[in-house]
Amino acid sequence: MAINEATVAFVMGGYSFDTDEVSQILEIEPTGVMNGGTRVGDDLPAVSSWEYASEKVLDDEIDIYYMTRMLIKEIEPAKDKIIIAAERYNLVPKIVVKLIISSDKDEAVPDIGISTRNLRFLSEIGAFVDINIKKR
Domain that holds residue 118: 4-135
Per-residue pLDDT tens digits for 1-20: 568 899 999 999 998 899 99
For the chain, give the secondary structure using H, E and C.
Answer: CCCEEEEEEEEEEEECCCHHHHHHHHCCCCCEEECCCCCECCECCCEEEEEEECCCEEECCCEHHHHHHHHHHHHHHHHHHHHHHHHHHCCEEEEEEEEEECCCCCCCCCECCCCHHHHHHHHHCCCEEEEEEEEC
Confidence of residue 75 (pLDDT cuts 50, 70, 90): very high
% of the chain at pLDDT higher than 90: 71
Q: Which pLDDT band, with edges at 50, 70 and 90, does 61 fall under?
A: confident
Q: Structurally, how many domains does the chain consist of?
A: 1
